[in-house]
Amino acid sequence: MKILMLAHETPEDFKIRDDKEKFDAYMGEWYAFSNQLAEDVDIVASAALEKPETATVVSVRNGERFVEDGPYPDTKEQLGGFFLIDVENIDEAAKHAAKCPAAKNGCVDVSIIANH
């Protein structure tokens, strides 16, 4: 079954991306995790995302388009990247998710892809 693994990071984790001293260690953890994941399961798609403050929100009401800068409070855990994986069941996905660097300070959601 296909599972979407969504890595939510804390504002502190996002700040490490701008921290020259900690950046390599941070990226090292992510590379180690994704390499291991690729060995264990089939990764269908994956991407790391730019920081939450680069988000834009779009909605359409009565034919009118609304575009807004993503209003992101600095206090919440935000999506930092995802993996779409093929596994036996959601518990197996949760086991892998627990090893994700984001699970340490933030959280990783595992969601089942609907079979429409």
Partner 1 sequence: MNYLLLLYQDENLWEKKSEDEKAETMGAYFSYADALREAGAHIDGAPLEHSSTSKRVRTNRVQDGPFADAKEQLGGYFLIDVDNLDSALEWAARCPCASTGHVEVRPVWNIGG
Partner 2 sequence: MNDARAIAEETARASYGRLLAWLSSRSNDVAAAEDALADAFRAALETWPERGAPNSPEAWLLTAARRKLIDGSRRKNTYKDSIPALTLAAEEAEIAMRDEAPFPDERLKLLFICAHPAIDAGVRTPLMLQTVLGLDAARIASAFLVSPAAMSGRLVRAKRKIKAAAIPFEPPEPQAWGPRIGAVLEAIYAAYGAGWDEIDGSANANANLTGEAIFLARLTANLIPDQGETWGLLSLMLHAEARRDARRKDGAYMPLGEQDLALWNQAMIDEAEAALARAWKCGQVGAYQIEAAIQSAHVAARLKGHDTTVDIVLLYEKLNALAPTAGAAVGYAGALAAAGRFEDGFKVLDAMHPEQTKNYQAWWAVRAHILNKLERKNEAKIAYDRAIGLAEDEATRRFLAAKRAALGKVRS
- CB pairs under 8 A, 24+ apart, for 65-68? none
In the complex, what is the shortest distance from the CB of residue 39 to partner 1, in angstroms, rounded to a whole number?
20
Contact between 62 and partner 2 (CB under 8 A)? no
Contact between 47 and partner 2 (CB under 8 A)? no
Q: Among candidates 37, 54, 41, which has minimal Cα distance to 1?
A: 41
Q: Nearer Cβ to partner 2, position 19 or 53? A: 53
Q: Are 18 and 113 in contact (CB under 8 A)?
A: no
Q: Which residues bind partner 1 (CB under 8 A)?
A: 2, 4, 6, 27, 44-45, 47-50, 52, 54-61, 65, 67, 70, 79, 81-82, 84, 90, 93-94, 97-98, 100, 103-104, 106-114, 116
Contact between 74 and partner 2 (CB under 8 A)? no
Q: How far is CA 4 from CA 32, 46, 83, 85, in A?
A: 19, 9, 6, 6
